[in-house]
Amino acid sequence: MISLEELLGRCHVVAIAMRVPFRGVTTREVALIEGPSGWGEFGAFTEYHPAEAARWLAAALEAANGHWPAPVRSEVEVNATVPAVAADQVPEVLVRFPRCQTAKVKVAQAGQSLADDAERVAAVRDVLGPGGRIRVDANGAWDLDQARQALARLAVYDLDYAEQPCAEVADLARLRVALARAGVDVRVAADESIRRAEDPLRVARDEAADVVVVKVAPLGGVAAALRIVQECGLPAVVSSALDTSIGISAGVALAAALPELDGACGLGTVALMAGDVVPDSLVPRNGTLPVQRVRADPALLARYAAAPDRDRWWRQRVADCYAHLTGGG
């Protein structure tokens, strides 16, 4: 483990505006770390406490100082990501994901209704056509009854799966049974129940999911995420946590190392940001991303450098998380 002083000396904090708000985020701030192996990204959301955010720092340190598993594919298919925008904004969002045949649509946004969700999903179906795959992501916002009602309504748009429809693992398991009994053919995918859980394997033991959605940073790195997928034994999709191309490259490394993938991965979110720290951003071209390392550009680091107070805030957060990783917190 490198010293905290050395770590902070390699740290660059950036702030990049979002094209549209995403999970309430209008400006994405992350700390980027340069190391002998390349660049790593630490971008745990601000509400995460240091013990949880420390896993994100571990992933950044793995990228900067360690080694990723060997890939089994040279490119990764990616899905479009549609924030909780009005239905008439859907085409302008999807145009940023050329040739992507799968879209993940945010639903259950606070202040919006199921009718809003249905209109958004319908607009996505209109753009993708009958052959496209649609996934919805509720981020655990529905209770069991709301999830049953919502998915029964949204199923008419031929959903691939519903990501984290309920927050609790027990409710995910009950929902799978309820949907089957009602003849609603929608698979259940677990995201937060994997990445924010003390026991990420519980969803498999409790038969609470058909698919697992894994993210590198919240699970502590590519190697750790790969191990969790193998131990779960369920079909897997790799997703991102609203990263720059530095963070996306780690997600691509995981997706490239998995023996099997359950369709397109949620690694195209750089397209939702109004800037990036690498000149040739990792955005979908022909619906795929290449498997490669990327390097931050000094000029772009300077352009998107965070304000001094936010730079200090992130550096203190790095120090707090470092203390947890080294046993000092």
| The one catalytic residue among 195, 215, 317, 324 | 215
What is the reported pLDDT for 151?
A: 98
Active site residue: 28, 55, 104, 106, which one? 106
CATH number of the domain residue 186 falls in: 3.20.20.120
Same domain, 139 and 237: yes
Which tokens is 43 given? 């971008």
Same domain as 117, residue 56:
no
State whether 210 and 283 are in the same domain: yes
Residues 58 and 193: their CA atoms lie apart, in Å, by 20
106 included as an active-site residue = yes
Residues of the chain with pLDDT under 50: none
Q: Which amino acid is at 67?
A: H
- In this prediction, residue 329 carries a pLDDT of 63
User: Among 219, 194, 201, 245, which residue's Cα sits nearest to residue 58?
Assistant: 219
Q: 95 and 56, same structural domain? A: no
Judgement on whether residues 202 and 312 belong to the same structural domain of the protein: no
Query: Do the annotations mark residue 137 as ligand-binding?
Result: yes
Cα–Cα dist 304/324, whole Å: 28
pLDDT of residue 27: 97
Say yes or no: 41 and 12 in one domain.
yes
Domain of 9, in residue numbers: 4-67+298-325
Is 191 labelled as part of a ligand binding site?
yes
- Condensed to tens digits (0 to 9), the pLDDT of residues 171-212 reads 999 999 999 999 999 999 999 999 887 788 999 999 999 999
Separation between Cα atoms, residue 57 and residue 225, nearest integer Å: 14
Are residues 115 and 171 both part of a single domain?
Answer: yes
Mean pLDDT of the residues in the chain: 96
Q: Quote the number of domains for the chain.
A: 2
Q: List pLDDT tens digits, range 19-67.
A: 988 878 999 999 999 999 999 999 999 999 999 999 999 999 999 999 9
In a shared domain, residues 85 and 120: yes
* Cβ atoms of 39 and 63 closer than 8 Å: yes
Strands of 23-158, DSSP E: 25-35, 38-42, 75-77, 80-82, 102-106, 133-137
* Residue 104 is among the residues annotated as catalytic for this protein: no
Is there a binding annotation on residue 262? no
The DSSP bridge pattern shows strands 38-42 and 25-35 to be: antiparallel
What pLDDT shows up at residue 259?
A: 95
Indicate if 85 and 52 belong to the same structural domain: no
| Same-domain check for residues 155 and 21 | no
Name the pTM for this structure: 0.93
Pull the structure tokens for residue 23.
């999970």
Q: 236 and 311: one domain?
A: no
Q: Mark whether 15 and 118 lie in a shared domain.
A: no
